[in-house]
Chain A
């Protein structure tokens, strides 16, 4: 039995500890927001936070998250500055990569409230978007950062 927290809730799953966290989230826990894009850590569609760090859940064995805190797209509040900025900049196209993009962006802003363009390059280049929304992702991150800082650095 593997016990960990997902979006603040304790979850117990009876799964082979080698099973990637992504498939436990999707197939066992019914949390379908994290997406499968490559299965090899190459695209970022499956990005979640584990104890505050963005990780590729497709290559993270669920055994490794025993006792840890996992946050998925479902655990990011609708009024979070990043989600709001995503809406304001109209980032999404097909939308498939966007949960992963948002998870990476949230983690970036938690670490660097005022990221530079090269911070964004570094933090976001592991997330592919076949629809090519990169320009808007960059703008949205800057906008969310600005909003957070105006509000006095709160995480909204």
Chain B
């Protein structure tokens, strides 16, 4: 919940007159009103998040980027619940970049990430709705000379004594002249919208082709650019001959930018054809020496040396030293690309003293400021409009604003509006990956077979170092996201030590849906499974025994076991695996059922997923996000790897960076634990448990433990061979 409601409440009372007689309170009317039916002259906008028109329209101004997670529905639901309006009249509009729309917890910036949209906006938007409801009631009461306490709001109508009724639209102009209540009271009693699986407000636009993504933005005279990028990270142009490129029909200009060489044309295709004709000699510098195979060796070497201590309970080293039987395992996880379905792109219209950016950003304030810097303008001269995002997963919240910066650099030289588009290969090879990880854990068991000591070393690049978040999230050299999910494990382990090495190298890394948890869940839940099997215990019961102090973990775990029929017989060649992970304030357990065919092809047949995410806005959205997280995590578990050789990223498109396809989709069942706890996130928590659940199921099916992702047929075949 918002810790900064004091600040946001004060915003409620900033008032200013609205042309046409209404009242606009701290409300910047967003651009173009594209998604909302236009509010007529006397609309009522009691705060930055809400506008009620005399035509009965209710427009919620949404400060979070829509990238699939349904914020254009869940956030309006929060407002509408308290407003008591007619849900049929509710529309949404993306907010502009302004301080009112800053993240309620992350500091002075507008940003969507960390599975926080509902969590961080719950209080602020509820209060926004409640304030407006009180004002509409006050307006009606005044109209009727009645006691406001005798009036109530329901479905867009204020009902007064003696059966009197006035609609919100009729009251809007009057309500707009009232003072905004400083301490609006939230409704008591049952909810009318929250907790209901309402249909998404953005679905119609998404099925008829009208939803505007960044790549769809056009403007009169707009040009399109693609950029030739260095073959290795940090490469620079040594020599450029653009003459052939300029001879391609449709090509207008070839311009140098920091990212490489941009070919500007009157459409995407001529730009691409022009790029093929560029003759560039690159200066590769150090970048040409990077290889993931060498890095893996270096990481393994580091894992054998002490790192910075992130957690120390008891004395794991001493206990292990004395123990007769030690269990050691090493895990490896590769770099991963976000591979959003819409490749990164950005539209810029740069004028002498203004700049319009239209793009799918998760990180609007930083992107706007970066654009201003590059354009030589003040931030307030830059307008950034957030379009629909064709997937985000963290990639569109890049602290370097890479895809915005390069587009503004191109725009500085074109003199006309320009859209810079990355091809799939550009998008996949230009970096910002989930870091590659190497983990080594040594443990020993007590007399009951439970972990007595656990010594865990993690090796991988820091995502946060060098970003504006460093001061808050890197403490004494430890990036909190590198050890999240490991250093804070809930399992009862009396002697626990977690250490971290954060090597640096030229490969750019970034948060990737579920951040550190995407790595630690695999390691923790795989190794715990190994310990259970070593102890001869059932992996589910083993986890239960270690979680006695954690009722929410236990509940999702037990529900997953029950719903999946844990322990019931499966066909030969099939196996069941369980995994549990807490992330972003939510608790998720998953049971996967898998089988392996003769070709080493792993098939995930069924996944049972149980989530406790506290109070819920829209259960269908929660369900959809679990399904989505499972597929995202399965693509990584089964196929995903970005590798580099001689500095070159070896993957480029979906043939060598495959994603799960429909035929491989397991049956997914999602169960939601009813809860009155504070809301947790749902965008990311579905991802972490799936890889270990599948790897544990693979072990159950075959007796083979694979400790490196992805679980490719080659690896599985080799492991099966080694076993026999």
Point out residues on A near B: beta carbons under 8 Å: 16, 19-20, 23, 26-28, 30-40, 42-43, 45, 72-74, 76, 78, 83, 86-87, 90-99, 102, 120-122, 124-138
Contact = CB atoms under 8 A, between A and B. Distances in A.
A135 B667 CA distance: 7
Contacts of B423: 39
A38 B388 contact: no
A132 B653 contact: no
A33 B680 CA distance: 35
B202 A95 contact: yes
Contacts of A97: 341
B268 A23 contact: yes
B480 interface: no
B654 A87 contact: no
A123 B609 CA distance: 28
Nearest to A23: B269
Nearest to A99: B209
A92 B341 contact: no
B207 A92 contact: yes
A90 B620 contact: yes
Nearest to A43: B654
Contacts of B627: 132-133, 135-136
Interface string B185-220: 000000000000001101111111111110110100
Nearest to B425: A39
Contacts of A38: 424, 653-654
A130 B668 contact: no
Counting chain A CB atoms within 10 Å of each CB, the highest count among B212, B267, B390, B627 belongs to B390
Contact of A132 (B205, B342, B631, B667): B631
19 contacts: A32-B209, A36-B215, A40-B653, A78-B208, A83-B207, A87-B207, A91-B207, A94-B67, A94-B390, A95-B68, A95-B203, A96-B340, A96-B391, A127-B662, A128-B341, A129-B341, A134-B665, A135-B667, A137-B662
B304 to A, nearest CB: 37
A121 B208 contact: no
Contacts of A86: 203, 207
Interface string B155-199: 000000000000000000000000000000000000000000001
Interface in B621-643: 624, 627-632
Contacts of B205: 95
Contacts of B628: 93, 131-133
B202 A96 contact: no
Contacts, number: 179
Nearest to B669: A135
Contacts of B340: 94, 96, 130
Interface in B667-696: 667-668
Contacts of A19: 269
Given A39-B423, A92-B203, 16 more contacts: A20-B269, A23-B267, A27-B267, A35-B342, A36-B342, A40-B424, A76-B208, A90-B620, A91-B203, A93-B68, A94-B66, A94-B390, A94-B392, A120-B662, A125-B661, A138-B665
Given A38-B424, A90-B203, A96-B391, A16 B249 contact: yes
A47 to B, nearest CB: 12
B654 A36 contact: no
Given A38-B653, A40-B424, A94 B208 contact: no
B660 interface: yes
B53 interface: no
A134 B631 contact: yes
A13 to B, nearest CB: 11
A94 B662 contact: no
B686 to A, nearest CB: 9
A137 B627 CA distance: 12
Interface string B10-27: 000000000000000000
Contacts of B465: none
A33 B202 contact: no
B659 interface: yes
Given A90-B624, A130-B340, A95 B653 contact: no
Contacts of B341: 35, 37, 43, 45, 94, 96-97, 128-131
A138 to B, nearest CB: 7
Interface string B358-400: 0000000000000000000000000000001111110000000
Contact of A130 (B391, B620, B624): B391
Interface string B49-76: 0000000000000000011111000000
Contacts of B68: 93-95, 131
Q: Kindly list the 5 A-B residue pairs having the minimum CB-CB distance in the complex, ordered from nearest.
A: A33-B209, A132-B631, A95-B206, A96-B390, A93-B68
B339 interface: yes
Nearest to A31: B209
B663 interface: yes
Given A39-B424, A40-B655, A132 B208 contact: no
B516 interface: no
Contacts of B70: 93
B94 interface: no
A96 B208 contact: no
Nearest to B686: A132
Contacts of B209: 31-34, 72-74, 99
B395 to A, nearest CB: 11
Contacts of B653: 38-40, 42
A143 B411 CA distance: 47
A37 to B, nearest CB: 6
A45 B653 CA distance: 14
Contacts of A42: 653-655
Contact of B218 (A30, A91, A98): A30
Nearest to A88: B199
Nearest to A86: B207
A99 B203 CA distance: 12
Contact of B662 (A72, A92, A102, A125): A125
Contacts of B67: 94
A120 B665 CA distance: 12
Given A37-B424, A83-B208, A128-B661, A92 B202 contact: yes
Contacts of A73: 207-209
Contact of A35 (B215, B620, B655, B660): B215
Contacts of A76: 208
Contacts of B199: 87, 90
B224 interface: yes
Q: Residue among B202, B423, B627 with the most chain A CB within 10 A?
A: B627
Interface in B599-633: 620, 624, 627-632
Contact of A121 (B204, B213, B662): B662
A93 B204 contact: no
Nearest to B388: A95
A95 B269 CA distance: 24
A64 B655 CA distance: 25
A59 B202 CA distance: 30
Contact of B210 (A23, A33, A129): A33
A130 B662 CA distance: 11
A35 to B, nearest CB: 7
A144 B128 CA distance: 40
B218 to A, nearest CB: 7
A98 B268 contact: no
B575 interface: no
A155 B390 CA distance: 30
Contacts of B66: 94
B292 to A, nearest CB: 23
A98 B202 CA distance: 13
Contacts of B96: none
A127 B662 CA distance: 8
A16 B248 CA distance: 11
A37 B342 contact: yes
Interface string B409-440: 00000000000010110000000000000000
